[in-house]
Amino acid sequence: MKTNNIKTEKEYREICAAMDVLIEKGTKPGDMELLTNEDKSDYMRLSALVRQWEKVHYPHPIPINPLIAQIQERMAERNLKQRDTARLLGIDEARMSEILRGKKPIGMRLAKNLRKCLQIDADIILDFA
């Protein structure tokens, strides 16, 4: 199965199956290092194709800032909308939106209000603000 890149989901599954065969072939004797050089090379080539396909079609989610996650969790627990949370914290809704998107930093006054009004642990605020 020689190909420069994967073009379809079917092809992706076929390449994964071919990799499984090579893994099985390598683990039977006890170590992938016992594969022939040709099989090792084929495995490396196929895994590079799979990584390339998965990077485009199955991207990892963007990690969320733990402080933002805490704010969102508190909002959900209390059934607060963004504007309600902004009012509670003493900021305008636009600023609240920017904070939740990670676009604006959190100042000392807001940090204190997050701790006081939403009961967010000060360590999380200090570590991730």
Q: What is the pLDDT of residues 87-97, one digit of tens each?
A: 999 998 889 99
pTM reported for the whole predicted model: 0.54
For the chain, which ranges sit under pLDDT 70?
Answer: 1-3, 62
Phi, psi of 92 (to 5 degrees): -85, 165
Q: What is the pLDDT of residue 17?
A: 93
pLDDT single digits (tens) 27-48:
877 777 788 889 988 988 998 9
| CA atoms within 13 A of residue 61's CA, in its CB half-sphere | 3
Q: What is the pLDDT of residue 3?
A: 59
* Residue 122 domain-assigned (yes or no): yes
Same domain flag for 18 and 71: no
* Residue 109 domain-assigned (yes or no): yes
Long-range contacts of 31-39, Cβ-Cβ distance < 8 Å, separation of 24 or more = none
What single letter denotes the amino acid at residue 124? I
* Residue 101 domain-assigned (yes or no): yes
Say how many domains are in the chain. 2
Which residues constitute the domain of residue 13?
A: 9-57
What is the residue whose two structure tokens read 């949370």? 85
Same domain flag for 43 and 72: no
Q: What is the pLDDT of residue 55?
A: 86
